[in-house]
């Protein structure tokens, strides 16, 4: 069974001002790989998923999930 893996890589990159190329260099992959991941065209290896999460200082589940992440507006509504 092949499941879709959703991610928030772009959000984490934007939050710290990293380009795809910057993140690719940090985790030792081709910049296209980061683009493929962000678009959902590629599933990361466990090693790559952990390296990305480690760089941002978060749990891998904060970046990757089987279920879509809630939108920012949904998160704000829940918090109020």
Q: pTM value?
A: 0.86
Could you tell me the pLDDT band of residue 64, with boundaries at 50, 70 and 90?
very high
Q: Which CATH architecture group holds 6-79?
A: Orthogonal Bundle (1.10)
64 membership: H or E segment, kind and range: strand 64-65
pLDDT at residue 80 in the model: 58
pLDDT in tens, 8-62: 999 999 999 999 999 999 999 999 999 999 999 999 999 999 999 999 999 999 9
Ranges of each domain in the chain: 6-79
Distance between CA atoms of residues 9 and 38, nearest Å: 6
pLDDT at 75 over 80: no
Distance CA 63, CA 48 (A): 12
Question: Token pair for residue 13?
Answer: 């990159």
């Amino acid at each position: 069974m092949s499941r879709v893996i959703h991610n928030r890589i772009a959000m984490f990159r934007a939050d710290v001002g990293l380009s795809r190329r910057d993140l690719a260099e940090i985790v030792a992959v081709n910049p296209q790989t980061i683009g493929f991941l962000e678009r959902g065209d590629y599933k990361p290896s466990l090693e790559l998923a952990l390296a990305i999460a480690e760089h941002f200082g978060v749990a891998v589940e904060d970046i990757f999930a089987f279920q879509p992440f809630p939108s920012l507006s949904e998160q704000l509504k829940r918090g109020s």
